[in-house]
């Protein structure tokens, strides 16, 4: 079994900690290992290092290689340009299929938080068994905790079979990120799961699906496969890659395919998409404040303080996110952290490149 | 004419910028001269340096001497203990009366902000003329801008006379810090001014008033006057000073005396008693934000950012006070800055002495 870890994100939502050169998955948000290091460590008991591929962009490859010395250098696949998930997955599948088209591959985002790694591996191992049963595309669905509009939703159909004691369901339909009313309706009806972005399939299965539903991508991948394995072909590779359709695998394949299965990922999952999400999963004191520095609280509640090395005193404030780095200080209302991206845009507009 | 500048304050309300060793008047809150330097510069056109006395405590004397090299060393009067304003003023008056009991002395707090220094000097010169007319105690009153409960109130009586074109009124009564309802009543009735803590009188006049209304202080000052001018007497001085009654000149003398006059101090006055007051008098942008660092605002209003050297991004926040120093970061709700003192108490309780 192979694992493909997609590490292409920029993560400006975690500014000022995340930067152009340091996206979310390369950060140590919890003061220990970085998120991508956690992700690799989590699959190592399932997949040996030589079968773990990481797909990333040119600007982050150096940092990734430094953070993951246990992986063979040739397992870091460097995209000449970010083209969303379908080209990334297709390229990795092609690399794996070159060795064995029947090989099962796990596709994992690099930047998710999993609380129960043991349970995670049990579900993924079951999903791999399910994927090995035939020409199917297996996804991991997450029980929704609220009417989130930032995720796709998987509608569960009938149960297909059990794998290693885990129930495997057919997916009746996949709904793109819904509006709030629709998300509420999904929750009221029941039987909907969030699309976690984790997939399991045989390399040959996803390539066949791409061949059927994304002919442009299929053609591009074919041209890449035909390139000679010599250095000058890098420029040709770049030209082809930059023109691959920038489409997500969800939209390009999963929503159209009829052979999609799902397992429930009940292992404590968060995609930690914002500072607000980090507050949610952080350990908090009795007043809801979370900090790793010395903290003095006077009538303060529900504040996340991240990255500060000095003493922080909170007086009469609530629902704040405070992030300090060497060169920047963010003060954000809790619930408004999606707007941190707007601050990054403003910094870009003013030309303060060193802060991006 | 002499000037006595009272520089005994601790100023924990300006933590983390103010510290035990660095009270408010020694701070450069506006990025230029410190507040006590401004205070001295403001009176220099009226009073030559050799006639400016500063009364301060032992822990701040060194910093004061460094900040005010233009003053003779012997003009820095060092109190062995802070005993409120009456002993401080009495001691200074005695030092001046030794030279000439008829000499007029200005008594000025070290930590006030005056916007119009020219007008300040005109009013003080008129007050000095008024003080020279006889055995009177002259105060400067400030037109109230709201029902503040942190100030004493002077009730104006009939006009006494003009001095240098300024109206001088008798003071009908002095009311200690009132509750809010009483303060509102004062404002509704009119004719009340805030007690600014600035006084003008002949050295002999205030000493006579102390003799009449504060016999204990008078006795203590007499014992100090009788000390020989030799080094071993410093310990004896300390013993006497530490037992002087710790009473304000307002409570000890002004409220009882019948010969109090007042001039209106219409020169733009603030005692800058808290971070909130600093926001009030700071230059603000169109959204009410005040900062001296690079600032990025996304839906942010009425925020004071003080001391930060890095870029600060405000996202979705309003009514905050943010103060950064080398070793501490304060985040305070605007309107709650009186509670900064509570944070200092908490730091003390935890024994983090280096942060006090």
Encode pLDDT of A297-310 as tens digits: 999 999 999 999 99
pLDDT digits (tens, 9 = 90+) for B271-329: 888 899 899 989 999 999 999 899 999 999 999 999 999 999 999 999 999 999 999 99
Q: What is the reported pLDDT for A232?
A: 64
Burial of residue B172, with CB atoms counted within 10 A of its CB: 0-12 exposed, 13-18 middle, 19 or more buried: middle
Helix (H, G, I), strand (E, B) or coil at B330: strand
Please tell me what DSSP assigns to residue A137: E
pLDDT at A49 over 70: yes
Over residues A277-291, the mean pLDDT reads 94
Nearest to B61 by CA among B47, B42, B82: B82
Nearest CA in chain A to B349: A296
pLDDT at A65 over 80: yes
B329 → closest Cβ in A16, A324, A326 = A324
Q: What is the reported pLDDT for A107?
A: 98
pLDDT at B246 over 90: yes
Q: What is the reported pLDDT for A32?
A: 86
CB B205 within 8 A of CB B89: no
Over residues B173-196, the mean pLDDT reads 95
Q: What is the reported pLDDT for A273?
A: 83
Structure tokens at A58: 């040119």
Burial of residue B151, with CB atoms counted within 10 A of its CB: 0-12 exposed, 13-18 middle, 19 or more buried: buried
What are the start-end ranges of the E strands in B136-267? 137-142, 153-163, 166-175, 192-202, 260-264
Q: How far apart are CA B249 and CA B254, in angstroms?
A: 6
Cβ contact, residue pair A328, B313, below 8 Å: yes
Instruction: Report angle CA A237, A238, A242 to the nearest 5 degrees.
Output: 120
pLDDT digits (tens, 9 = 90+) for B11-59: 788 999 999 888 999 998 887 899 999 999 999 999 999 999 999 999 8
pLDDT digits (tens, 9 = 90+) for B103-154: 999 999 998 999 999 999 999 999 999 999 999 999 999 999 999 888 999 9
**Domain ranges across chain A:** 2-270, 275-355
Q: Given pLDDT bands bounded at 50, 70 and 90, which one contains residue A150?
A: confident
Chain A: give the shortest CA distance to residue B272, in Å.
19
Cβ contact, residue pair B329, A312, below 8 Å: yes
Helix (H, G, I), strand (E, B) or coil at A8: coil
Nearest CA in chain B to A313: B330
Over residues B225-235, the mean pLDDT reads 80
Nearest CA in chain B to A322: B331
Structure tokens at B338: 């009186």
Nearest CA in chain A to B303: A331
Residues 305-334 of A with CB under 8 A from B: 308, 310-317, 320, 322, 324-333
Chain B CB contacts of A350 under 8 Å are 296
A327 → closest Cβ in B310, B316, B322 = B310
Percent of chain B, pLDDT > 90?
Answer: 85
Chain B CB contacts of A355 under 8 Å are 311
> Rounded to the nearest 5°, which phi and psi values hold at A60?
-110, -5
Q: How many CA atoms lie within 13 Å of B166's alpha carbon, on the beta-carbon side?
A: 26
Decide if B47 touches A, using CB distance below 8 A: no
* Global confidence as pTM: 0.83
pLDDT at A11 over 80: no
Higher per-residue pLDDT: A244 or B292 = A244
Chain A CB contacts of B315 under 8 Å are 330-333, 336-337, 339-340, 342-343
Chain B: give the shortest CA distance to residue A317, in Å.
5
CB pairs under 8 A between A and B: 132
Q: Given pLDDT bands bounded at 50, 70 and 90, which one contains residue A271?
A: confident
pLDDT at A31 over 80: no
pLDDT digits (tens, 9 = 90+) for A76-113: 999 999 999 999 999 999 999 998 989 999 999 998 99
Residues 277-306 of B with CB under 8 A from A: 294, 296, 298-299, 303
Higher per-residue pLDDT: A228 or B156 = B156
Q: Please provide the CATH number assigned to the domain covering B2-270.
A: 3.90.550.10
Over residues A119-141, the mean pLDDT reads 97
A79-95 in b/e form (b: 16+ CB < 10 A) is beebbbbbbbbbbbbbb
pLDDT digits (tens, 9 = 90+) for A184-207: 999 999 999 999 999 999 999 999
Nearest to A318 by CA among B297, B295, B319, B344: B319
Nearest CA in chain A to B355: A311
Please tell me what DSSP assigns to residue B22: B
């Amino acid at each position: 079994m192979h694992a493909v870890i997609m590490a292409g994100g920029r993560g400006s939502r975690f500014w000022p900690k995340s930067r152009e050169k340091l996206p979310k998955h390369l950060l140590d948000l919890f003061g220990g290992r970085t998120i991508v290091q956690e992700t690799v460590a989590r699959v190592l008991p399932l997949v040996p290092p030589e079968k773990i591929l990481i797909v990333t962009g040119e600007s982050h490859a150096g940092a990734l290689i430094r953070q993951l010395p246990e992986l063979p250098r040739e397992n870091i696949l460097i995209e000449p340009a970010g083209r969303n998930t379908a080209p990334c997955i297709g390229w990795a599948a092609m690399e794996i299929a070159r060795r064995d088209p029947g090989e099962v591959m796990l596709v994992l985002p690099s930047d998710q938080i999993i609380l129960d790694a043991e349970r995670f591996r049990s579900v993924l191992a079951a999903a791999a068994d399910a994927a090995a049963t035939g020409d199917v595309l297996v996804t991991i669905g997450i029980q929704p905790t609220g009417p989130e509009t930032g995720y796709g939703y998987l509608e569960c159909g009938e149960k297909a079979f059990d794998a290693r004691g885990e129930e495997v369901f057919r997916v009746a339909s996949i709904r793109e990120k819904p509006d709030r009313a629709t998300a509420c309706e999904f929750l009221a009806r029941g039987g909907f799961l969030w699309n976690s972005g984790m997939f399991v399939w045989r390399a040959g299965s996803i390539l066949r699906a791409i061949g059927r539903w994304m002919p442009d991508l299929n053609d591009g991948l074919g041209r890449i496969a035909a390139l000679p394995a010599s250095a000058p072909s890098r420029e040709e590779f770049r030209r082809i890659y930059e023109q691959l359709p920038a489409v997500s695998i969800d939209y390009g394949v999963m929503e159209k395919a009829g052979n999609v299965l799902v397992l429930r990922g009940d292992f404590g999952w968060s995609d930690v998409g914002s500072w607000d999400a980090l507050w949610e999963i952080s350990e908090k004191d009795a007043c809801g404040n979370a900090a790793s520095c010395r903290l003095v609280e006077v009538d303060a509640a529900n504040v996340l303080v991240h990255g500060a090395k000095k003493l922080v005193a909170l007086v009469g404030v609530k629902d704040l996110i405070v992030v300090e780095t060497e060169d920047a200080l963010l003060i954000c209302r809790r619930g408004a952290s999606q707007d941190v991206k707007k601050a990054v845009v403003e910094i870009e507009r003013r030309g303060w490149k060193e802060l991006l």
